[in-house]
Amino acid sequence: MTLEDARRLDAADPLRDYRERFDLPEGVVYLDGNSLGALPKDTPARLEQVVRGEWGNGLIRSWNDADWITLPQRVGAKIAPLIGAEADEVIVCDSVSVNLFKLIGAALNMRPGRKVILSEPGNFPTDLYMIAGLEAQGLAERRLAAPGDLEAALDGDVALLMLTHVHYKAGRTHDMVRLTRAAQDAGALVLWDLSHSGGAVPVDLAACNADFAVGCGYKYLNGGPGAPAYAYVAKRHHAALSQPLTGWMGHAAPFAFTDDYAPAPGASRLLAGTPGILGIAALEVGVDLIAEIGINRLAAKSRALSEFFRKCAAEKLPDLELVSPLDPLARGSQLSFRHTQANAICQALIARGIIGDFRDPDILRFGFAPAYVSFEDVFLAAEGLADIISTRAWDKPEFQQRAAVT
Amino acid sequence: MTLEDARRLDAADPLRDYRERFDLPEGVVYLDGNSLGALPKDTPARLEQVVRGEWGNGLIRSWNDADWITLPQRVGAKIAPLIGAEADEVIVCDSVSVNLFKLIGAALNMRPGRKVILSEPGNFPTDLYMIAGLEAQGLAERRLAAPGDLEAALDGDVALLMLTHVHYKAGRTHDMVRLTRAAQDAGALVLWDLSHSGGAVPVDLAACNADFAVGCGYKYLNGGPGAPAYAYVAKRHHAALSQPLTGWMGHAAPFAFTDDYAPAPGASRLLAGTPGILGIAALEVGVDLIAEIGINRLAAKSRALSEFFRKCAAEKLPDLELVSPLDPLARGSQLSFRHTQANAICQALIARGIIGDFRDPDILRFGFAPAYVSFEDVFLAAEGLADIISTRAWDKPEFQQRAAVT
């Protein structure tokens, strides 16, 4: 694999022009879009319009005149086709964590007599942590089973199977169709966390008959740091949906200012407080761009990029342990490797302008955001990684310290 | 009261230069800063820096390099002196609604055997609604008592007294010292909603020995539409605090990625998901400006403005019913009036560039954000109101329709 190979692949890439739609810093190879997506070039102007025009000039009138009030539903409807959902099954609101709480609560309400939330050890921490508060309240009971044991762990106590489609660390995917069916056969509901899928990996919530899902706005959807998240509720549950965060924006008539709660129709009842307009407006720009490219083209390029990286790395670093599946169809838009010096290697790469990330204790992770990562990026990153490992360039005191956020 | 009186008051106003720090549209009299605060002139440049510099150029590195990770605590610490709190007792996160849920849940955890959440009928809807989800889960029981009956309603079943300091509709205040003591004497905890106080009305959480508080970022703190909210926990509760939304950002070591939840120290455990950086960064600009002016000067001007409006209105419209207390010390930074045509009058005012708001079914509400409202604004608004009512200018078909958001 050579730089020329990479450039040939870039020249033939049908998505090559989309890189210009992002504002990427000079001299940086960015393989961490799975943690924070890059800035779309249209975002600053859109935010300027929202801030100066809609807020500064329109003031309170913009809730009506700029239609802020339906922004959560509008952006949710744009995310829907990326995950195999219908427009009114998806809404943008709060964070992934808060949305997990709502939907775990909804599942417990729908399965009285069952308290177990089944997940896997090593799932993304917040998914597991969000069960803890409900456990302390006596409402839920956490059960963890390794991927191969999940189906055996589905008994009559399980209210909800809650899994992340693409594992944040290993990058492996779950079989959504099979696990959803197994859980539903056992009388449980299913919640899929699409944080590491949506916008890069094909998901078909309708085809797998999912009950609930959540996903992240700041990774492959390029919504900006801490962007609002999204939540999905299958239409068949809309009428009965009852979730615990019963705020005024999820009320059937918020501006009637009545004392008693009555839920808004469908997924809109997932809203709690006043939606953060700046955050959702920025997210909309990223979603528009990803939706314009389309999930099938993104997924095809994602697989080609990760395969190219894998082959480059295998050629230069035959001993480096790959943690992610070899089969590109069995993994998300990332590759993870194990190395005892993962943190120092990650720091050394960043010092050279090659940004991946480190996941405690020994994982080096590279994400391939297909909308803007090039094959040349991938080649340069693999080359830098090989050089740092083979020359032990990581072995400097300044690369040993652990950053506050990794 | 004449325009000259108003201009004399403006000339003598020690805060008169602060109006220039806000980007107010020409020809608009804005008396709705109690619903959505105006845009500080520094906000667009700060957001541009966060978006292009910290996100676009810094990318994932900005969690460390721009110290995004401590932004919720930093901005909370700046809000603290406005509400009589210590720096580490306040944190910025989520929405008022979500923070209410956390703190109601925390109170229930701290008062096992007690389930009653006591509030008043007609409290701001989301405060009452947030009890509904917990009621459906069997964890809470809502009890409402009119202000004069609250103390009698405090029995051994009450876990939490939850009230809004300044009533959103009437503008009247509660006596925080007396009610906090009464509730604590009955063994209950107290949660104050400061949404209509913080940044305009003096609050001393320490002096009244409050347990918990929440407040809004988008009203008198000028954080922008749907800005993140803040939450307060008295230091004496920090060690034992246990709230239900146990997300990864409230974990003691989020980047250790362990399976089991362990709370971060103090108020930081109120964090759930990844904080929305754009929203908090915008809020910080508004908070900086309000903190620079200081709550005592703001409160003094607020009272002078509302008294001036009240006297102008009383002179021109002696029959208009004032809903807010006559005593400026007994009300917040707003005045509310009752009129059967309140909605149409509000629409007619807006058509003339005088923006107050309408609260269902018959309330006309005017807010006096002391950082940027002038006495001339107040005079013009009272004059416009008097003209619209006395000439029945509201009686046109286009003013009869109800806006989606009021």
Of chain A residues 338-357, which have a CB less than 8 A from chain B? 350, 355, 357
Q: Are B275 and B253 in contact (CB under 8 A)?
A: no
d(CA A401, CA A42): 36
Q: ipTM of this model?
A: 0.98
Q: CB-based contact (8 Å) between B360 and chain A?
A: yes
Under an 8 A CB cutoff, do B404 and A227 touch? no
Question: Of A134, A118, A121, nearest to A191 (Cα)?
Answer: A118
pLDDT digit string (tens) for chain B, length 406 residues: 899 999 999 999 999 999 999 999 999 999 999 999 999 999 999 999 999 999 999 999 999 999 999 999 999 999 999 999 999 999 999 999 999 999 999 999 999 999 999 999 999 999 999 999 999 999 999 999 999 999 999 999 999 999 999 999 999 999 999 999 999 999 999 999 999 999 999 999 999 999 999 999 999 999 999 999 999 999 999 999 999 999 999 999 999 999 999 999 999 999 999 999 999 999 999 999 999 999 999 999 999 999 999 999 999 999 999 999 999 999 999 999 999 999 999 999 999 999 999 998 999 999 999 999 999 999 999 999 999 999 999 999 999 998 989 8
Distance (Å) from the alpha carbon of A62 to chain B's nearest alpha carbon = 9
A219 is catalytic: yes
B193 is catalytic: yes
Of chain A residues 72-101, which have a CB less than 8 A from chain B? 94-98, 101
Separation of first and last alpha carbons in chain A: 30
Find out whether the peptide bond into B361 is cis, omega within 30 degrees of 0: yes
Q: CB-based contact (8 Å) between A240 and chain B?
A: no
Q: Where are the alpha helices (DSSP H) in A191-341?
A: 277-293, 295-316
The pLDDT, as a whole number, for residue A225 is 98
- Annotated binding residues of B: 97, 124-127, 164, 193, 196, 218, 248, 274
What is the percent of chain B with per-residue pLDDT over 70, rounded to a whole number? Answer: 100
Strand A189-193 vs strand A158-164: parallel, antiparallel, or unpaired?
Answer: parallel
Q: CB-based contact (8 Å) between B244 and chain A?
A: yes
Instruction: Tell me the residue ranges of DSSP E strands in B317-399.
Output: 321-322, 334-338, 354-355, 357-359, 363-367
B219 is catalytic: yes
**H or E stretch including B316?**
helix B295-316
Residues of chain B positioned with their CB less than 8 A from the CB of A255: 360, 404-406
Q: Which residue has the tokens 């239609």?
A: A67
C-beta neighbour count of B265 within 10 angstroms = 11
Q: Are B2 and B251 in contact (CB under 8 A)?
A: no
Under an 8 A CB cutoff, do A248 and B129 touch? yes
B94: CB partners within 8 A, 6+ apart: A94, A95, A98, A273, B102, B228, B229, B245, B272
Q: What is the pLDDT of residues A145-166, one digit of tens each?
A: 999 999 999 999 999 999 999 9
A258: CB partners within 8 A, 6+ apart: B125
Q: Where are the alpha helices (DSSP H) in B317-351?
A: 342-351
Q: CB-based contact (8 Å) between A293 and chain B?
A: no
* DSSP line for A376-405: HHHHHHHHHHHHHHHTTTT-SGGGTSPPS-
The pLDDT, as a whole number, for residue A406 is 84
Residues of chain B positioned with their CB less than 8 A from the CB of A109: 136-137
d(CA B398, CA B389): 16
Q: Among the options A365, A368, A375, A399, which is catalytic?
A: A365
The pLDDT, as a whole number, for residue A73 is 98
C-beta neighbour count of A401 within 10 angstroms = 9
- Reading phi first (left if > 0) and then psi (alpha if -120 to 50, else beta), residue A24 is in beta
Residue A205 is given by DSSP the state: T
B218 is catalytic: yes
Q: Are A140 and A134 in contact (CB under 8 A)?
A: yes
The count of CB pairs under 8 A between chains A and B is 311
CATH architecture of the domain with residue range B3-30+295-399: Alpha-Beta Complex (3.90)
CATH architecture of the domain with residue range A3-30+294-399: Alpha-Beta Complex (3.90)
Residues of chain B positioned with their CB less than 8 A from the CB of A251: 125, 129
The pLDDT, as a whole number, for residue A22 is 98
Separation of first and last alpha carbons in chain B: 30
Residue B108 is given by DSSP the state: H
Which one-letter amino acid corresponds to residue B344? A
The pLDDT, as a whole number, for residue B406 is 84
d(CA B112, CA A276): 34
Under an 8 A CB cutoff, do A98 and B130 touch? no
Q: CB-based contact (8 Å) between B218 and chain A?
A: yes
C-beta neighbour count of A219 within 10 angstroms = 27
- Cα-flanking dihedrals φ and ψ of residue B44, to 5°? -60, -40
Q: How many angstroms from the chain centroid is the CA of residue A261? A: 31
Q: What is the pLDDT of residues A289-302, one digit of tens each?
A: 999 999 999 999 99
The pLDDT, as a whole number, for residue B288 is 98
- Domain residue ranges in chain A: 3-30+294-399, 44-293
Residues of chain B positioned with their CB less than 8 A from the CB of A242: 136
Residues of chain B positioned with their CB less than 8 A from the CB of A97: 245, 247-249, 272-274
Q: How many angstroms from the chain centroid is the CA of residue A277? A: 20
Residues of chain A positioned with their CB less than 8 A from the CB of B59: 25, 28, 30, 32, 36, 38, 355
**H or E stretch including B117?**
strand B116-119
CATH number of A44-293: 3.40.640.10
From A32, A62, A229, residue closest to B59, measured CB to CB: A32
Of chain A residues 124-153, which have a CB less than 8 A from chain B? 124-126, 128-130, 132-134, 136-137, 139, 144
Q: Are B96 and A273 in contact (CB under 8 A)?
A: yes
**Residue ranges in chain A modelled with pLDDT below 70:** none
Q: CB-based contact (8 Å) between A391 and chain B?
A: no
How big is chain B, counted in residues?
406
> A49, A59, A75, A358: which to substitute to probe chain B, counting the most B Cβ within 10 Å?
A59
CA–CA–CA angle B278, B284, B288 (5° rounding):
160
**H or E stretch including A214?**
strand A212-215
